[in-house]
Amino acid sequence: METIKGVSVNPGIAIGNVWIKEAPIILPKKKNLTPSEIKEEIKFFKESIQAVKKDIMEMKKKLAEQIGTEASLVFDSHLLLLEDQEFIKEIEGTISQGYTLSWSLSIVREKFLKIFERVEDEYIRERVYDICDVISRIQKKISHFQPPTPPQKEDQSIILVAHDLLPSEIPPLFELKGLKGIVLQSGSKTAHSIILAKSLGVVIVIGAKGILSKVKNGDKIVVDGRRGEIMIEPSANFLTIIHKKRMEMESLREKAFAEVQMPSKTLDGHDFTLLANIEMAEESEIAIKNGAEGIGLFRTEFFLLSSRIFPSEDSQFNYYKKALEKLSSRRFVIRTFDVGGEKVFSHEYEKEANPALGLRAIRLMLNRRELLIPQLRAILRASNYGDVKILIPMLTSLEELRDFKELVEETKNDLRKNGIPFNENIEIGAMIEVPASAFISDSIARNTDFLSIGTNDLIQYTLAIDRTNQNVSYLYNPLHPSILRMLKFIKESAERNGKMVYVCGEMSSEPLYAIILLGLGIKVFSMNPIYIPLIKKVLRKIEIEKAKEIVNRAFELSPEDMEKFLIKEIERNFGDLIRET
């Protein structure tokens, strides 16, 4: 048995037979056209655009019925691209040089792929994916391409394996019976295709380097979505063990779901709160079904980046209001746009050597207020319909906080003048996700209503490692003494100022880390909705005083002994409970 390591996207265990979904090879029809043929070929291109538009509209409608309107917004950018005069002129110009339509499409596609090779920014890569997807659709249309038929044997479990998937390749998978998992050799968690694929409810692992050279159609593989591992041709004994583990996990999940509506109280009677991180309005309903007591992080970037134009104030207002309809009186924390300058103003800002440390998030929004103000107006208007709160991403200074709050007040004044209702006491919180904000979290807490600790970025920025870089990913350690001390300091800063603090990151969704966070005195957690039932089941069986005792003792030790002690004591006291998950 061989094991390949990838990146987890959707948890669970999937066992099945490999179906390799190869990228279609459509050989372009190469021919030098005469002037009269060029005219006919351009006409053929325009007709093909209309036919593809019709197909996309039909797919959007079907997808909206299956998983919601917001998910289908991805394809709005495809429709807009088919109306983009620069894109159309690029292809028509190539045809005018005497190339056939299919040949011209291949030439333009290669041109954009070369741009893709030189670009590191994920958003710009996503735009290239959109272009390639649209070109691929046109090529398939004009060549009358028929996709390969996947295996559809009775009761067969399928694991789809591919280099990558385009957004338009996801909707047909909703019709694929027996699909249990997806393994991609490439891929990105933020890709439109992956965001859509998560709605399939199957186990997903991406970044499985070399997988296509290791498997063939029909091979038996096991995909562990929690660990991000793929086991190839496992032994009979291993399959027996993994079958048992999967059944136990399914049984545990069923039991956890049975408790989602139970009170969020530890074994010794302390309240805790579980919130959800979502990025589409439709997900709010799923979050509540999983036991979320509100939304701790609503990422607004998906709405912004799935369109080629800035969303208007009204469209944002309607989007937020739709999410609120499912939440009743539950809290709804909306994070302002967390994107980089070259993502939304690529024509004005040069490519940054290190976008993660560049003009992004609140820095960009304060720099380009024409984008932030409509969002603030939309959020404030939505606050009239529920418990809406505003969250500021990547805050690093009190000056940024002051400027942001002043802009909120100016926006409120403008709404008052126009008689537009909103919650006058709307709360404003700050994401603590860089060391700079962590070390001044006491001052930030005094000037905000709540703190949200973004552990994913905080760990990366503090330890100076990129967890997606396989050369250094092993250094990503949530239990590093510097991280533990920082979390303790942030929690105490909020407590001294009488402000609520919660953890919003993957630490919340791991039982071991959740117990340690509880021991630090943090009682509010926000995570992917899929993990809420299990974390709730775990925390309901924990005595918070015992967890605090373990954590307090760890802080009395030297830095090199803290992690070992925590793992040993949590295992000794709560090991059986953790292993159940």
Q: What amino acid positions are annotated as catalytic residues?
A: 192, 504
State which amino acid sits at residue 543: E
What SS3 class is residue 257? helix
145-152's contacts with Cβ under 8 Å and 24+ in sequence apart are: 145/24, 145/26, 147/24, 147/172, 148/21, 148/22, 150/19, 150/21, 150/176, 151/17, 151/19, 151/178, 151/217, 152/177, 152/178
- Give CA–CA dist 272/20, Å, rounded: 45
Amino acid at 97: Q
DSSP class per residue in 485-521: HHHHHHHHHHHHTT-EEEEESGGGGSHHHHHHHHHTT
Report CA Rg, the chain.
25
The greatest distance separating any two alpha carbons of the chain, rounded to the nearest whole angstrom, comes to 85
Strand arrangement of the beta sheet that strand 203-206 belongs to: 2-5, 229-232, 220-224, 13-20, 158-162, 179-184, 203-206, 7-10
- The C-alpha atoms of residue 59 and residue 244 are separated, in whole angstroms, by 39
Q: Label residues 66-82 b or e (16+ Cβ within 10 Å = b).
A: ebbbbbbbbbebbbebb
Nearest to 391 by CA among 301, 302, 299, 304: 299
**Tokens 């690093």 sit on residue:** 396
